[in-house]
Structures are given as C-alpha cells and as structure tokens.
Amino acid sequence: MKPVKFYNVDRFYQLNKDKIIELANEVFSTGQVLEGIYVTKTEKKLAQLTNRKYAVTVNSCTDALFFSLIASGIKYGDEVLVPAFSFIASASAIIRTGATPVFVDVNDDGLINFEKAAKKITQRTKAIVAVHLFGKMANPETLNSFSKQFNLTIIEDAAQALGSRHTEIPAGNTGLASCFSFDPSKIVNAFGTGGVIVTDNEEIAGKAKSMRVHGKSANVNNFEILGCNSRIPSLQAAILHFQLLQIKDITSKRNNVANYYYSKLSNIHNLRFLIPSQDELWNYHKFPIFTSFRDKLKDYLSKNNIETGIHYSKTLPEYSVFGKSEISYPVAEMLSKTELSLPIYPELNEEELSWICDCINKFYITQHT
C-alpha cells in the first residue's frame, strides 16, 4: 500500500492541473500579481457564503485575527477570553494588540466552556475569540447570548470552519468580525497562505483594508494606523475562487469520508468520536478521534505508512510564550493527551480508507483487548 498522507494538496493539483495552469497563465499574463479581478471575485464569494456585507482578504488568518481585534478597539490593558485548546494564533493575535489572553477550559468536544468562561469575566474583559475547533461550530446562539450578557465583542476564529453551519447560521456570520484561514491544510486552501476577515461593519472592513497595506489611508496620501504587508497574491485568490465554487461538493465529500470512519470504527470501545447534532453541518476540517493509546496508535499507523496529526499536543497556556501558568485546564489537558486526527480530504479513495480502518481495527484487536 502506498503511503497515505495526512492532507494532500499535490493530489488536488494533479486532478486539477489543467485548470490551475490556465489560471496561472491568465493571472500572470495580466501582470497584476496582487489585487485584481480574482481578489475581488474571491472576496465577493466569501461575503456571500458567510452572508456578510464585506470580505477583506489578507495573507493569513493570523493577520485576520490581529487586524479584527485592533479594528474593534482591543488594546493594552484589555482582557480577551480564548479557549485553552486551539492553535497558537487564536491567542498570539491577542498579545500582538497589547491585550491579555485569558484562557478558558473547553468541553470534551474542544469548544469553549461558557460556564467556566463566565467565571473569568472582570472589569477589563472586552472580547471573546470564539474558536470553531476542528471546523465544528460553537453554538452561535449560546455565543451571542453569553457575549450580550457580559457586553463582549465577538471575534470568530473560524480558521477551520469554512462551509460549516449551525441551525442554518454559517460559520463566519456571528459577531463583529470573523476570520478564516486558507493555509494548505484547510478545506479551501491556497498553494501558500491566505486568510480573510468577513464583517457587516464598514469601519472594521475599512480598517482591515488599510492595515493590509501598512495602514495606508483609502483616499489621501497618508498612513493613519500601523499595519503590515498582508495582501493575498492574485494567483492564490484565483485558486481559492476555483475551490470556493465547489465548496458544497468538497464539504459533502468530506462528510462521506467521515461517515465511512464512523461506520467502520464505532464498534471499537476504546475510541471516542465527535458526532454532529441534527441541526449542524460539520465541514470535517479534521476527523479527530480520542484514545488513551493515542501515541501507540499513531506510531502503529505510521509504521503502516499512514500519516496522522495531533491537534494539539499541548494546551495554549503550556507554551512558554504565554508565561508560566499555575492554573490547570483539565479538559484541555485530557484532549491534548488523547486526540489523534485521521486523514480526511475529498481525494481519499476507498482503498485507502479501508486500509486505514483495517489498521486501526487490527491495532485494537492485536494490542489492546
């Protein structure tokens, strides 16, 4: 059996080579490699998919989060709630504004625990960075009522959640601004990096547009705020646009892979899965499984040429960049020791899926029963 990669951008390329080369030729022939028609088209499509008025593409979701926080007035002295279990950018973007990330433990699905979050509120708490981990959405209704109760600005970290919905509300539609990532592991990915801010607020969109070009003013020759160089290359926008047109199909194929895993693995007692509720469409950015034999299983799969991922092997407060924390986050810590992400992408074929599931079943039969 050939190696099974954890995600497989090159297979997407092989399947769509002609179109991608055609797009490269089209973009490069115009000589306009930043901005241009595909950046406009991509932004329009993203605003439409998230039911927002504005979309501003940038060079990464990390920048999107930073720009959104700055544009919404977060500054030194403020506190911002963020789940203790996420990718580092969810919290590092807060530090870049001068504000303090206040970590909150999560539920066993990896999403922020609102009861625990309520206990962390102080006079200084101004915002919440709401992460839809693994692409599975935090309930927008609960998020809205929590934020209303404590007068908090919501910045949605929807980096992983493009295409997901909860009670018909798309990821990217809750709060003042929402941020998505297009890094190579994402369900819609650049061949490089990329991100976007979507919002209904004209001022936030204007500031984000300015910040992506060093803080340049729109109509006068001036730099009013500090920004950085964060425009998305036109070719990346063209490739993203091509994928965005297929997002329903991509989400549906990922759901098929997930359903295959559920059907072949749910008989294993030592494995825990996340199951979407009836009113939820999960994009399956990741297919996480949870097992106390995580490291041994990862090793076993690796020996069988199956690449897997761990998201994440540490909680955010454990990273030294955030200083030493004496506080424990028991659920986040449990997840960091037990989570394993299986390969999931539309191009995985049945032979590969069957091989992955056979190996996992064999692992539990031969090693742990």
Ligand X SMILES: Cc1ncc(COP(=O)(O)O)c(C=O)c1O
Binding residues (CB under 6 A) for ligand X: these are 60-62, 86-87, 89-90, 131, 157, 159-160, 181, 183, 193, 195
Nearer to ligand X, 196 or 271 (CB): 196
Q: Smallest gap, in angstroms, from Cβ of residue 269 to ligand X? A: 30
Structure tokens that stand for 237 in this block: 């926008």
Distance of CA 169 to CAs 23, 35, 111, 146, 174, Å? 32, 30, 17, 17, 8
Closer to ligand X by CB, 117 or 131: give it.
131
Closest CA to 63 of 98, 97, 112, 103: 97
Question: Which is nearer to ligand X, 153 or 265 (by Cβ)?
Answer: 153
Nearer to ligand X among residue 112 and residue 271 (C-beta): 112
Task: Give the type of residue at 44.
Answer: K
Close Cβ partners of 250 (under 8 Å, ≥ 6 residues apart): 163, 187, 188, 243, 346
CB 275 → ligand X: shortest distance, Å?
Answer: 21
Minimum CB–partner distance for residue 304 and ligand X (Å): 27
Distance of closest approach, residue 195 Cβ to ligand X, in angstroms: 5
Closest distance of CB 365 from ligand X, Å = 34
Between residues 12 and 134, which has the closer beta carbon with respect to ligand X? 134
Q: Which is nearer to ligand X, 131 or 162 (CB)?
A: 131
Contact predicate 276/134, CB 8 Å: no
Max Cα distance, the chain (Å): 71
- At closest approach, how far in Å is the CB of 331 from ligand X? 17
What are the structure tokens assigned to 61, written together?
């979701």
CA distances from 20 to 106, 237, 293, 316, 353 (A): 40, 12, 41, 37, 27
C-alpha closest to that of 154 among 86, 58, 74, 77: 74
